[in-house]
A and B are shown apart, each in its own frame.
Chain A
Amino acid sequence: MSLTDTELAAPEPSRPVVFWRRYRRNRAALLGLAIFTVVVLMALTAGIVAPGDPLSRAGAPLTSPFVDMSVPLGTDQLGRDILAGIFYGARISLLVGVVATLVAIAIGVVIGALSGYFGGWVDDVLMRVTEAFQTIPNFVLLLTLVAILGSKIEWITLAIGIVSWTAPARMVRAEFMSLRNREFVDAARNLGVSNTALIFKEILPNALPPIIVYASVIMALSILLESALAFLGLGDPNYASWGNMIGQGRAVLREDWYCAAIPGVAIVLTVLSFSLVGEGMNDALNPRQKQ
């Protein structure tokens, strides 16, 4: 622009700072972040707020909320403390959400990256496998896997990861297909960089933003899947889980609706928070957006 082009412009603020500035502009995303923080705090403080086993009897069965202050949110038909259930349930939901998402993203990134980077027959084979998975409805496949593996929480989490990897794989593939022909990849290849390093060090960091955003969607879906399993009575019976609570509360839905409604609200808010955070990140990571 000017005649001497060697003068540098003023330094820009670092990436995290820019990210936070953009994220902060979206109020809904801030609300999402607040709810998410509360859920994390609940999971962390479950042992302090409600010491002891959340599945043991804590008071008279079917106490309404706000009646007995030792069980502020009431009890279910077996006399278990609903508040304790919600706090311990947050642990399970977050565990399932985070681990299943990591599993799904890991599988998705590897398959999508190989497929998109190499193309040709590698792409053909991997995409046919992906399509095979996509033709089976998620939940049916999940039920099958849980029926085979058993309903321990570890297996359930793994199974949820296995049924959710197809969408991120396709997304990573699309990103890689557009990025692999960019000049900076050619430039790195021309320096003698190996394929592995090209995939993971050059292309992947540039493909990450949409994947991170999509991870929030997978987290929300994983929590819903776990709840749905538990609702059908196929969850791990050894842990308090929001889905389990709803499933059991269903039996007394007409007289004591709160047994199902309170964990229901917890699920709605948690999933909502993930969606809002995801949307906020999408806005903040979108390179077209100016500060």
Chain B
Amino acid sequence: MSGKTVLEIEGLKVALPKGADRPLALDGLSLSVKAGEVVCLVGESGSGKSLTAGAVMRLLPEPHVHVSGGSIRFGDTDILAQTETQMKAIRGKEISMIFQEPMTALNPQKTVGWQLDEMLRLHMKKSDRKARRAHAIEMLHRTHIPDPEGAYNAYPHQISGGQRQRVMIAMALALSPRLIIADEPTTALDVTTQLQILKLIRDLQEEEGAGVLFITHDFGVVAEIADHVVVLRQGEMVESGPAKQVLNAPQHPYTKALIASVPDLKPPMPKVGKDAPVVLTGAHLMKTFKARGGFLTGKRKAVVAVKDLSFELRRGETLGVVGESGSGKTTVSRIVTRLLEADSGSVQVGDTDLLSCSPSELRSMRKHIQMVFQDPMASLNPRKRVVDLIAQGPIVHGETREKARARARDLLELVELSPAAANRFPHEFSGGQRQRIGIARALALEPKVIVADEPVSALDVSVQAQVLKLLADLRARMSLSLLFVTHDLRVAAQLCDRIIVMQRGEIVESGLTSEVFANPQHEYTRTLMTSIPGRDWTPPKDVTL
């Protein structure tokens, strides 16, 4: 396994402009990547992990952000001493990069083939057009893209997200680079695709014998792919060591806490008996998205988002709706809250069918079913103070201003925010704090049911653990009934009593979380379970948050 060292970073310091939250984005980072080795750089948002990639590629937004100390050696070359022209020869050919979002990293105006060809043309000056084409198709073939010839002629929007990432990998490996930097390459992908891509990176890298610097925030991914792990916290390297050691016996308290925040895959025993009253019933829900046809363009194809879906939610219970993107799980959350009109079916809240309410009845019914949204920044009106955001619901439903505001302050305390937060605007908070505000807003109306649509997927893992803990606490204290939509099976395992697994708008499996996890019946559920990154690794839990 241990080959020649391809990348050696020593004491790297990257300075941020004045007025940033800290003077140094990276303070004394040292790591080395050997040929044939995958080094994972792990950290939460703002830890400086992406800036490391920028520094190695010499793509920092200079002069605002610049390297102020340390050295980066690539083989025998001192990266920091290279001129821009010399760097151009190194980038792409010697060091290549795989980005998080393949759609934005590919030019939407050019075919995949053109973009592969462009890179080969720039770096393999001699070869003729036919040789380059053959090489490009060979590379696409090696990434196991279905129909490489077709993909060569396709535009980026015509192929799926996973295939785009395969194209990016083909581009990155086409010139047999000695170092590959992968910056969160699977974060934007579904779990099943993620696993395939991780395998692909691993296989190709072993064939080529290249070194990989793999940047990620996800310890599951680390467990899946890493040989060596470097943990960053706010620009400081807190731990570095072989993957097994860091994952199973972390030394630094921060690493311990981070790893303890990773939800493990053992679902809790369900606490709610079958005798609890049903608070929410969805029956035979259907939703088809029809594209609005123009006068001349004609109708486009309709997409079935939810097909004959039925479920029951009991008091004090958490029902997880699990699925990959496009499975219709978000559509379910919108139909149940009637933010989206279903084509047919019914949603019973208590004795009332929400879907057949008149607009004014609906407005008064809304206090019984509240929602926590995915993106805590987008779901809070940026022009309103926190206290008004939380008090808005009760005021709309006839509470006096003073009482609603007073209650809003109590709720802030309940979600563990200081009362000083009340008079601030949403942009002054961190992501986790914003999500706490979102939860407080949902609680303000004392609803019978809370629908949570991916409430923690935009958060860092340690913050995610805290928000999940808060939700679990509140659920126990106030006997909340939760409809919890998520793509993350680890999160579902942690919080949900029962889950329903969705694929292409239909329920493929449902049951107690513990049973579904232990013994998945449907083939799709099994694929999902085996795709969870790091499923064989159980995070050590010797630290409490």
Residues of A within 8 A of B (CB): 1-6, 8-9, 11-12, 182-184, 186-194, 197, 202, 205-206, 291
Contact = CB atoms under 8 A, between A and B. Distances in A.
A118 to B, nearest CB: 13
B418 A194 contact: no
B375 to A, nearest CB: 6
Contacts of B381: 184, 187-188, 202, 205-206
Contacts, number: 101
Contacts of B441: 187, 191
A183 B396 CA distance: 18
A189 B430 contact: no
8 contacts: A5-B462, A9-B428, A184-B381, A186-B371, A188-B392, A191-B393, A191-B441, A205-B381
B301 interface: no
B421 A192 contact: no
Interface of B: 19, 44-47, 234, 254, 257, 334, 337, 339, 362-364, 366-367, 370-371, 373-375, 378-383, 392-393, 396-397, 416-418, 420-421, 424-425, 428-430, 432-433, 436, 438, 441, 445, 460, 462-463, 466, 545
B428 A11 contact: yes
Contacts of A3: 254, 257, 462, 545
Contacts of A6: 416-418, 433, 436, 466
A11 B424 contact: yes
B364 to A, nearest CB: 7
B421 A8 contact: yes
Contacts of B433: 5-6, 8
A1 B370 contact: no
Contacts of B417: 6, 8
A183 B375 contact: yes
A6 B545 CA distance: 13
A190 B364 contact: no
B373 A187 contact: yes
A184 B378 contact: yes
B287 to A, nearest CB: 16
Given A1-B430, A186-B379, A206-B381, A192 B418 contact: no
Given A6-B417, A8-B429, A187-B371, A1 B366 contact: no
Contacts of B428: 8-9, 11-12
Contacts of A193: 363, 392, 396
A9 B371 CA distance: 27
A195 to B, nearest CB: 9
Contacts of B378: 182-184
A4 to B, nearest CB: 8
Q: Which of B47, B379, B417, B420 has the most CB of A within 10 A?
A: B379
A194 B381 CA distance: 16
A206 B384 CA distance: 10
A5 B466 contact: yes
Nearest to B396: A192
Contacts of B462: 3, 5
